[in-house]
């Protein structure tokens, strides 16, 4: 059975690799009947600014919910 620290690390690694995000912060971890439910805050490049072709460091703050089973 995984502990809360392992769950947080797994979520950070998953979101960083999936979204190519540099900064991922797990803000909530709860034990569920079938595993874990987490919520993470991720700063990503603004797709709107990118579509306009502007060169800026503006980022969007997004929240993601990730559910994991006991084996992570």
Q: Taking the model in full, what pTM does it have?
A: 0.83
pLDDT of residue 58 exceeding 80? yes
The per-residue pLDDT for range 23-46, each reduced to its tens digit, is 999 999 999 999 999 999 999 988
Render 8-46 in DSSP notation, one character per residue. Answer: HHHHHHHHHHHH--SEEEEEEEEEETTEEEEEEEEEEE-
pLDDT of residue 9 exceeding 90? yes
Q: Which residue has the tokens 């060169």?
A: 55
pLDDT at 45: 87
């Amino acid at each position: 059975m995984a502990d809360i620290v392992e769950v947080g690390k797994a979520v950070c690694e998953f979101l960083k690799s999936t979204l190519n995000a540099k900064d991922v912060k797990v803000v909530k971890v709860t034990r569920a009947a079938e595993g874990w439910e987490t919520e993470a805050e991720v700063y990503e490049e603004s797709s709107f600014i990118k579509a306009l072709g502007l060169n800026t460091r503006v980022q969007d703050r997004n929240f993601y919910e990730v559910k994991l089973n006991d084996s992570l």
